[in-house]
Amino acid sequence: MLAECPAMALTIKRRGQAFDTFAFLVLAAAWAAGLLLLLTHRLFVTNDSISDYAHTWYIAKVLWSGGGLPYHFPQLGHGDALAYPYAFFAWTSAAIFRPVFGDWVVTLWLAAGAVATIASTVWAFPETRSRAGIAMLLANPIMVEAVILGQLPFLWGAWPWFVAIGCWRRGWIPAAILAAAAAQAGHPAVVLPLAAITVACRLPFDGRPRSLAAAYAASVILAGPWIAMTLLSPAVSDSTLLSLAANFFGTLSLRAEVMYAPFVVVLVRHWFGRAGMLAAIPILVALNLIIVPIRHNEYAWGAFAREPSNILNPFLESPTFTPSKTYRLLQVGDGKVGMYRLLQAGGHLDAELFPESIDRRSWPGLPAYEAFLRNRNVDAVLISNAYNERYRTNEHDLLEQLVGRGCASRTTPLPGFALYELHPLADDGGCGSG
């Protein structure tokens, strides 16, 4: 019996090695296949991706016409939008190569950001350098979600942060400061608070706590101008405090699972050993399926087989469309491709390409809605029947009331769409004849 114990232990060890090798190879192959499929799309149309295409397009247009790097993006956010609400380094570097690759450069940058995030994590944390450790990182459902949602700014903020950690652990302090500054400038709203929490938790255990605090403070100062631009973006001022808070804490709690993933791997390895890591892998894989209906990620997963919608093209190519006007575009199901096409056609949008800025809601009455339209300098509202069915707001009814009062005219430029051309709205609630 005693002789059998070492043999049994050896068998268990070999089976464990076979499992983590199998898991690593399958997950690596799945990631490779997914990224290759992603790269077949000139426009990868998912929840958060079109904003990156639009900003990169505009920055490249100004940059390559000799205008340098723009500060404002006057076609967005009723004329007040910034070219860089975040993602300075990601969008600028993509814009440099856009004349060569076109829109596909953003798709490439998304894939590169995913690879760089995983690679920099493993580089910063040698403790994760095992088949089981890397498999856990690859199976992380929130890391997968960051890619399928098209969260390029976050990924391009996460990987420099891991580079900063790796540099600090190797004693390369100036490089760590610069990398940390780039990370927090890349996505101040998410990376900065998560980075600050990381540093605060590390201080009691670091052999150089004062140096760490000073280095981190220096990185925040260097990132200061980009942090300020995020706060000055009309996407912030156009949103309610409640929606901002809900979005902030919701996004922060989820992205923390990418930023803190290597710490979890290290702790699982320390507390439960290799057996714990092996047990965690199938759980993480299963979570990728479980969270799809919970997070409503069906649309995001569909991006791998989705082609960009061209439904607005006939309108944008018709005399009905006026490039100098500011449009409020309300449609669903196209991943905001219509908003991007409208910008490229020379039109202006009353909002930025974020749900909070678009402001999908009902109004307490016509005066409040008229004030909203005036504040956003809206000239026309293009609304789809699908939008009404999806959100069930009173906006369409209010537009009909404006038509009834002679404050707007209604046409049908496309099947399933209504275009409301607004006559000048006065502060007293009256309107001109158009």
**pLDDT at 107 (0 to 100):** 98
Calculate what percentage of the chain has a pLDDT beyond 70.
90
**pLDDT at 14 (0 to 100):** 54
Tokens representing 265 are 């791997």
- Rounded average pLDDT over 37-48: 96
Residue 268 to residue 277: CA distance in whole angstroms: 6
Contact indicator for 108, 101 with CB cutoff of 8 Å: yes
Residue 8 to residue 343: CA distance in whole angstroms: 67
* pLDDT band of 425, cuts 50, 70, 90: low
Q: What is the pLDDT of residues 194-248, one digit of tens each?
A: 999 999 999 998 888 999 999 999 999 999 998 998 888 766 555 555 554 555 5
Residues in a beta bridge with 82: 72
Q: What is the pLDDT of residues 327-384, one digit of tens each?
A: 999 999 899 999 999 999 999 999 999 888 899 999 999 999 999 999 999 999 999 9
Q: What is the pLDDT of residues 282-335, one digit of tens each?
A: 999 999 999 999 999 999 999 999 999 999 999 999 999 999 899 999 999 899
- Rounded average pLDDT over 253-273: 91
Residue 17 has pLDDT above 90, yes or no: no
Closest to 358 in 3D by CA, of 323, 324, 383: 383
Q: What is the pLDDT of residues 108-134, one digit of tens each?
A: 999 999 999 999 999 999 999 999 999
* pLDDT band of 249, cuts 50, 70, 90: low
**pLDDT at 433 (0 to 100):** 37
- Cα distance from N-terminal residue to C-terminal residue, the chain: 96
List Cα–Cα distances, 4 to 16, 53, 281, in angstroms.
18, 62, 29
Domain ranges of the chain: 4-303, 313-422
